[in-house]
Amino acid sequence: MRALDYLSPYLPVLILLLFAGVLCALIGAAATFLGPKRITAIKETAFECGSPSIGDSHSRHSVKFYLVALLFVVFDVESVFIYPWGSLLRDFQAEGLGWFAYVEMLSFMATLALGLVYVWRKGALEWNP
């Protein structure tokens, strides 16, 4: 099978993963079996590790949170594109494609700005309507 040839460089990764997994399992098991367990109510409380929890841990978040988070992620990821562009711009210029790359990014930014205007005007960024 030729397919295996493609996968062979990844063999060390696989071995590493296996090793890490086995080690974790071993340490966890050792702690469970070897450590003494004498539990009292005082020991169960949080001691200098945060505050006592109040109410249900499955609390509801406002849907607006997701909306804003989603929009943030979208624009964040889009703007990440600018980074490789910036680092390659000189190479483009050397090949005589400087203006092309510039216009390309401008149109990309314009489209992105249009999206931002849309989101803004639609009121998706307003926390309280």
Partner 1 sequence: MNFNPGDLYGVLPALLLAAGALVLLTSEVFLRPVEPDRRYQAWVAAAFAFAGLWASLAQLGDPAQPLFAGAAVSDGFAHIVAAVVCAALFLSCIVAFSYLESLRATRGEFYALALFSASGMCLLAQATDLVVIFISLEVMSLAVYALCAYLRRGKRPAEAAFKYFILGSFASAIFLYGAAFAFGASGSTRLADLAATVRSGSATTLVYASAALLAAGFAFKVAAVPFHMWVPDVYDGAPAPVTGFMAAGVKAAAFATLVRILVSGYGEGGRWRGLIVALAYLTMLVGNLLAVPQRSVKRMLAYSSIAHAGYLLVAVAAMGTSAPRADAAGALLFYLASYGATVIGAFAVVAIIERKLALSGLGDDLSSWAGLSEKHPALAAAMSLFMISLAGVPPTAGFMAKLTVFRSAIEADLVPLAIFGVITSVAGLYYYLRVVVYVYMVPEAKADAVQGGRLLSAGLAIAGCALIVLWMGVLPGSFAALAQSGAAVFGR
Q: Which of 20, 80, 88, 97 binds partner 1 (CB under 8 A)?
A: 97
User: Is 3 or 49 the residue whose CB approaches partner 1 more closely?
Assistant: 3
Q: Which of 121, 127, 128, 129 binds partner 1 (CB under 8 A)?
A: 121
Q: Which of 95, 127, 128, 129 binds partner 1 (CB under 8 A)?
A: 95
User: Is 9 or 52 the residue whose CB approaches partner 1 more closely?
Assistant: 9
111 near partner 1 (CB under 8 A): yes
**Other Cβ atoms closer than 10 A to 17:** 11
Cβ of residue 101: shortest distance to partner 1, in angstroms? Answer: 9
